[in-house]
Amino acid sequence: MRSRLSDLAARLDGLYEFDREPVAEGKLQPWTKFAGMFAGEHVAATEFVIGAFFVLHGVTVRDLLFGLLLGNLLAVLSWTFVCAPIAVRTRLTLYWYVRKIAGPGVMVVYNAANAVLYCILAGAMIAVSATAIGLAFFIPSPRLTDVLPTSWAWVLIVFVLGALFTLLAILGFEKLSRFAQITSPWIFAVFIAGAVASLPKLGVRPDLSNLAFVARTQVWNGIAVAGQEKFGFWHILFFAWFCNLAMHIGLSDMAVFRYAKRWTYGFLSAFGMYPGHMLAWVASGIMVAAVGREMNPGLMAFGAAGYAGVGALLLAGWTTANPTLYRAGLALQSITPNWPRWKTTLAAGAATTVLACFPVVFMKLLDYVALYGLVLMPVGAIVFAEHWILPKFGLETCRAEKRGWVVNPAVLAVWAGTLAFVFLLPLHLYFKWLPGYLLALASYTGLAALGRKTPAGERG
Amino acid sequence: MRRKLYAVFSLLSLAFCLVFPVRFFLGGFSVERYKWGLIFASLSWFIFAPLWASTPKDKPRR
C-alpha cells in the first residue's frame, strides 16, 4: 500500500515538476495581469444561474445589495490577507507547499477529491449551456425540482455538447485559454445588455423613476417560489464569501499570487468580484424575473439578448468548462496507469457529460458550490496554521518533508475530523465552513503542539 | 499603429453592445433592431478583438 502510494506520488510530482521551484524575481507579473485575469475568470455560465436563484429564493433588494457588497468584500479580503501573503512569501503553488507539510500521499487524495469536484462543476456548466441548445430545438428544459434526466432529447443535447467541449479541451487548451480572454469582456457586456433590455418588460419607465419600486416588487420581492428555501442577508453574504472558498481560504490561488510583486495584489480580486459576482448576478436576477421566474438559462438569455444571448451562454459554458475539464484531467493523470493527458481529459469529459445529464447538478448549484469549498477548506486551514501559527509557538513546520513521510497523519486526521464535524454541525450548509475552518486551525495547532518541538536552531 | 486601430474598433464594438440595449430601453429602437444590433456589434468584437490581441506591440524607435 505504502509503495503504491509512493508510486502514485512520484507520478503526481512529475506532472507538477515545472512548478517545483519558487517563482524567480524576473518572472513576477504586473498588477494589470492580475486585474485582467480576475475580471475574466468570474463571468461564467454559472453566473446566469446563481443570480437567478437568489430571486427564486425570495431575497429582498436590500439583503441582496448589502449581502453582495459585504460578502464580496470579505472574499477580496480573504484573497488579500490569507492567500496572497502566503503565496508571495513562499512563491510556491499550493501543491508543493502542501506536499512539504502533508506528504505526497495526501496530495494524491487531494487531487482525486479535486478531480471529482471539477467534473461536477464542469457538468453544471455543460447543463447550463444545454438549455440554450434545447431552446432552439423546442426541447423543454428540466424543472427546478428535477433530479434525473427529463427526456432522451435532453440527454442527447448534453452528450453532443459534452463531447464537443471535451474534444476541444483535448485539442487545444492553450488556444482556447487565449480565446476565453477575448470572450469574457463580451460575455459581461451581454449580461449587462440583457438586464437593461429586460427592464421595459418588467415595467421600468425610461426615466427610471420607478426602478426601485419594480426591483422591490417584481424582481427581488422577498417571496420564495414554491419548494425553494427563503434566503436573507446572511445567506447572500456567506454565499458571496464562500463562492470561491477553495481559491482564497482554500489557497488554490497561491498558484496565481506566487507571481505577484506584492501581497496587496490580492485587492485586485475586486475586479472579479464586483463586476462578475455582483453586477452579473444582479443582471441574471433581472433576466429571470423578466421570463416569469422560470429557471431556464437558455430562455433567459434568448429572451433578454436574442441569439447573442444564446451565444454568450454557450461560450460562457464552453470557455469555463474547458479549463475545468483540463484540470480534472490533470488531477486524474496521477491516479491512472500512465495514461496520456488526452486520455485522462477524455475520461474526465465522459464522467462530466454523464453528470451533466442529471439536472440536479445545476438545479442545486448553490449547495454544490458550498460543498465544493467545504471539502477543500480544511487543507487551507492546515497550511495557514503551518505558515503563521506554528512558528509563533516555536513548533516544527513542514514535518513530512523533513522526515520523509508519505503521509502526515495529523493532516489526514484534521481534514477528516473537520469534515465529520461540519457534517454533524446543526447549521445551514452555507454557515458551516467558518466554524469548521476555526476548528481545523485549532485542532491542527493542538496536534502539532502535542507531538513536536522545534529544534533550538529553528526558532526565531 | 494597426494594433491601436484594432483596439479602437474592438472597444467601439463592445460599447455598441451596450448602446443598443440602452437605446431600446429608452424607446429609440424596436426589439428586433436591438437584437440585430447586438449580433452585429458582437460579430465586430470577435473580428477585431482577436486581431488586437494577436498583433504585436510596436517597438519604440531608437
Q: Give this complex's ipTM.
A: 0.93
Contact A63, A230 (CB under 8 A): no
Contact of A386 with A145, CB cutoff 8 Å: no
Average pLDDT rounded to a whole number, residues A9-22: 61
Query: Is B18 in Cβ contact with A308 (below 8 Å)?
Result: no
Whether residue B36 is predicted with pLDDT greater than 80 in this model: the reply is yes
Q: How far is A337 from chain B (nearest CA, A)?
A: 39
- Name the residue facing A197 among B25, B36, B50 (closest C-beta): B25
Q: Among A117, A81, A94, which Cα is nearest to A388's?
A: A81
Give the confidence band of A460 by pLDDT, cuts at 50, 70, 90.
very low
Domain boundaries, chain A: 2-16+29-366
Which residues, listed in sequence order, are joined to residue A39 by a DSSP beta bridge?
A: none
Q: Is the predicted pLDDT of residue A154 greater than 60, yes or no?
A: yes
Q: Residue A228 region, left (φ>0) first, then alpha (ψ -120 to 50), else beta?
A: beta
B34 interface with A at CB cutoff 8 Å = yes
Which neighbouring-strand residues pair with A221? A60
3 state SS of A446: helix
Residue B48 contacts A where some CB pair is shorter than 8 Å? no
As given in the structure block, the three cell numbers for residue A328 are 480534472
pTM of the model: 0.88
Amino acid at residue number A135? L
Cβ contact B24–A197 (<8 Å): yes
Closest CA to A96 of A24, A14, A13: A13
Q: How far is CA A386 from the centre of its chain?
A: 24
A2-16+29-366 carries CATH number 1.10.3720.10:
no
Put simply, the answer to whether A182 touches B53 (Cβ < 8 Å) is yes
Residues in chain A: 460
pLDDT range class, residue A12, cuts 50, 70, 90: low
Shortest Cα–Cα distance, B40 to chain A (Å): 9
A196 contacts on B by Cβ (under 8 Å): 18, 21-22, 24-25
More confident residue, A256 or A199: A199
Q: For A45, which DSSP code? A: T
Distance CA B18, CA B27 (A): 15
pLDDT single digits (tens) A258-283: 889 999 999 999 998 998 899 999 99
Helices (H) and strands (E) in chain B, counts: 2, 0
Closest residue in A to B24 (Cα) is A197
A182 and B49 in contact by Cβ < 8 A? Answer: yes
Per-residue pLDDT, averaged over A393-398, amounts to 88
Helix, strand or coil for residue A29? Answer: strand
What is the Cα B8 distance to its own chain's centre? 8
Predicted local confidence at residue B62, as pLDDT: 52
Distance between CA B10 and CA B4 in Å, rounded?
Answer: 10
CA distances from A180 to A140, A175, A281, B49 (A): 29, 9, 20, 12
